[in-house]
Structure 1
Amino acid sequence: MDIIYIIVILILLGFLLKYLGILSEKDKVALNNIVINVAIPATLFLSLLTNVKASDLSSYFKLTLFILIISLVCAGLSYLIGKALKMDLKSLAAFILVSCCGNTAFMGFAVCSGFYGVDGFVRAIFCDTATLFLIIILGTYLGIKVSGQKVSFVKQIVKFPPMIAWVVTIILVILGFQISMLPTFVAITLGYLSGLMVPLIMISLGLSLSPKYLKVAAVPAILVTAIQLFFAPVLGIGLSHLFSFAPLDRNVAVIESAMPPAMTPLVFSEIYGMNSKLISGATFLATVVSLVSIPALHLLLEAGLI
């Protein structure tokens, strides 16, 4: 449970720094750039080459498939709900994207590391692989529908640093490469860079969160919260039995399925002109509620009640 207190403190620190005028909301761009371009690639490289063997990959990729199935079901459900509510195209695209893409990296990495240590973090990486692909492909597809821009899916994936780091590292794992084969100072440097990830992510999240759009997007925000924090984990609990997961794999998979919306959909909404107020309001509400729902889910899992 200590990790939840740490996360809350760091998020509140970000919010306080914004409130005091020391940092502004626009400063999250710089923090996110450090996380995406430096901290996450370093963490992927260090953690995978230290803890993953080629023989482990088949079981880990089951986690990727698991999260992908849940995310696609949530996308389909949000599409049906959005059409029933007669949302305009910009709002519908935003609603679908924010409803199906969980914060499996930024928040998921921190939570799974705190609950289950390095072993949990490694499994969280493979959960986030599904989200990463989905955000890029679905976000680009919906963005094209809304804006009419012509963008290559392949280019979006290839130029994303965490994806590059993940692919390169998986290839090295398959080839039998280990971090111990490098000079000691390299591993130490990667460790320092990796240590930036959780604090910067949470402070950035604190800078991003704002209830100001909650009034104009109250109904979608409540629906997104219900889909991400209640429907998705319930589906995950049921689906996990079909995957025959090992206990730790199952716990990480279910926890990752219960993450609030990712921050990346907001970036896509600003690029392609989707309803960013809907995404901001939904992300705020779901993230706040998740600080209660995730610890509760963890307690139920540890007690063997689900």
Structure 2
Amino acid sequence: MDIIYIIVILILLGFLLKHIGILSEKDKVALNNIVISVAMPATIFLSILTNVQRSDLASYFKLTIFILIISLACAGVSYLIGKAMKMDMKSLAAFILVSCCGNTAFMGFAVCSGFYGVDGFVRAIFCDTATLFIIIFIGTYLGIKVSGQKVSMVKQVVKFPPMIAWFVSIVLVILGFQITILPTFLTTTLGYLSGLMVPLIMISLGLSLSPKYLKVAAVPAILVTVIQLFFAPILGIGLTHIISFAPLDRNVAIIESAMPPAMTPLVFSEIYGMNSKLISGATFLATVVSLVSIPALHLLLEAGLI
């Protein structure tokens, strides 16, 4: 449970640094760029090559499929709800995107490594692979619908640094590459870069969170919170009775399915002109609620009650 206290402290640190003027909300762009382009690829590369064997890949890819199913189900449910509420296209696109993209990396990595150590973190990487595909493909598709821009979804995937690191790492695992071949100074450097990830992610999250848009998007924010934090994990628990998992794999899969919205949809909303206020309000509310719902879910899993 200590990881939740650590996360809360780091998020509050980012929030405090913004409000006393040391950092501003726009500084989150620089922090996120460091995380996405440097810290996260280093973490993925080092963790996979250190902890994953070729024989593990089949079971780990089931985690990717699991999160894909959950995300697509959330997208479908949010589409039906948004249509029933007669949302305009900008709001509907934002509602679908923020409902189907869980924070399986920024928060999921920290939570799973805190609850389950390195083994949990490695499994979380394969969960987040699904989220990367969902964010890029659904985000780009919805963005094209809203803005009319012509963008190649394949190029978006190919040039995304964490995806590149994941792909290269998997290929090296298949080829039987051993990380011990690398010089010690290089693996130590990767370790230092990896250590930046969680603190920068949480501080950036603190900079991003703001309740100011909650009033104008209260109903969608509540619906997103219900979809992400309650519908998704309940569906996930049911799905684990269909897809067989080892106990640790099952726990990580369910915890990752219960993450609040990712921060990336806000980036897509600004690029393509979606309703960014809806995404900001929903992300704030769901993230705050998740600081209670995720520990509660973890306790239920550890007690064997679900």
Does TM-score exceed 0.5, indicating one fold? Answer: yes
Alignment RMSD (CA, Å): 0.4
Mapped partners of 2:242, 2:189: distance in 1 = 41
The residue aligned with 1:11 is: 11
| 1:236 CA drift (Å) | 0.4
Mapped partners of 1:284, 1:229: distance in 2 = 13
The residue aligned with 2:177 is: 177
User: Residue by residue, what CA displacement relative to the aligned partner does 1:185-230 show, whole Å, maximum 9, x if unpaired?
Assistant: 1111100000000000000000000000000000000000000000
Q: Does 1:47 align with 2:47?
A: yes
- Equivalent positions of 1:90-101 (< 5 A) are 90-101=90-101
**Normalized against structure 1, the TM-score is what?**
1.00
- Equivalent positions of 1:23-38 (< 5 A) are 23-38=23-38
Q: Does 1:141 align with 2:141?
A: yes
The residue aligned with 2:151 is: 151
| 1:244 CA drift (Å) | 1.1
- Equivalent positions of 1:146-295 (< 5 A) are 146-295=146-295
The residue aligned with 1:58 is: 58
Mapped partners of 1:164, 1:244: distance in 2 = 29
Mapped partners of 1:179, 1:220: distance in 2 = 46
Mapped partners of 1:242, 1:49: distance in 2 = 30
The residue aligned with 1:116 is: 116
| 1:134 CA drift (Å) | 0.5
Mapped partners of 2:229, 2:255: distance in 1 = 10
Mapped partners of 1:49, 1:73: distance in 2 = 32
| 1:243 CA drift (Å) | 1.1
User: Residue by residue, what CA displacement relative to the aligned partner does 1:98-117 show, whole Å, maximum 9, x if unpaired?
Assistant: 00000000000000000000
| 1:129 CA drift (Å) | 0.3
| 1:253 CA drift (Å) | 0.1
The residue aligned with 2:127 is: 127
Q: Give the 3-state SS of the residue equivalent to 1:37 in structure 2.
A: helix
The residue aligned with 1:2 is: 2
Letter in 1 for 2:49: L
User: Residue by residue, what CA displacement relative to the aligned partner does 1:229-274 show, whole Å, maximum 9, x if unpaired?
Assistant: 0000000001011111000000000000000000000000000000
Letter in 2 for 1:190: L
| 1:294 CA drift (Å) | 0.1
| 1:146 CA drift (Å) | 0.2
Letter in 1 for 2:221: A
**Normalized against structure 2, the TM-score is what?**
1.00
| 1:179 CA drift (Å) | 1.2
Letter in 2 for 1:255: I
Q: Give the 3-state SS of the residue equivalent to 1:24 in structure 2.
A: coil
User: Residue by residue, what CA displacement relative to the aligned partner does 1:32-64 show, whole Å, maximum 9, x if unpaired?
Assistant: 000000000000110000000111000000000
Mapped partners of 2:109, 2:139: distance in 1 = 22
% identical aligned pairs: 89
| 1:154 CA drift (Å) | 1.0
User: Residue by residue, what CA displacement relative to the aligned partner does 1:76-107 show, whole Å, maximum 9, x if unpaired?
Assistant: 00000000000000000000000000000000
Q: How many equivalent pairs are there?
A: 306
| 1:160 CA drift (Å) | 0.6
